[in-house]
Structure 1
Amino acid sequence: MPVPEIQRAQVADLIAGGDAVVVEALPEEVYAQGHLPGAVNIRPRRVVELAKTLLPDLDRRVIVYCGSADCDASLRVAQRLTELGYRDVHRYTGGKQDWLDAGLPIETADHRSLDQCS
């Protein structure tokens, strides 16, 4: 199932405007080391368990990302959210690595484990 992709500039604008929910699809310990501003953490295997609580509005724009373009966790989470009825789901394919490469802030300075994907 295709998921629309979204680029860094759009993600930054949506975060700044509070116009989307951002989801990091990496393991909890990687999320804790640093994530995009305001992001919530939902790993692929926990989508069904956490989506209703963390993403109560099926119509709200959701942006899912993971470590980099080499990681498919964001795709798996985005596809599962779409299957669950979320209507405005996008994938930030460049992920955390692209964000950091652009010099944009994360909520924690420790970002050592960007390549992990599960």
Structure 2
Amino acid sequence: MLYDCKKCPGYCCSYPLIPLDKRDVERLAAHHGMTFEAARRAFTREAHGRKYAMKRKRDKHFGAICRFFDTTHRRCTVYHARPAVCRSFPGKGRCGYYDFLSFERRAQEDPTWVAVTTNR
């Protein structure tokens, strides 16, 4: 494995845009036992020219993060119903943030170090 998401504070979940498509909203609706329209209203917003974008919530490390991210345990709460963009991340390559985080944790001799940003 090129990276271990369990050792990351959820950087990719903090992206300003987590794009969704209709199928993602349908998957979230089914997961929560809701209608499509109820899930659309509860979980999405229009943003960055996209009809469906994931709503976000406050986060102490990144300012804002996916509304389904558990900010205490630093993990996804809808992993089995997660959007396609999350299922495919980071594609065929490496996760750059994980590489950065691993380097900094080794350099600082602190296995819990997290890069904090305030400009999101």
Question: In which range does the TM-score fall when normalised by the shorter chain?
Answer: under 0.3
Between Structure 1 and Structure 2, the one with more strand by share is: 2
TM-score (norm 1): 0.27
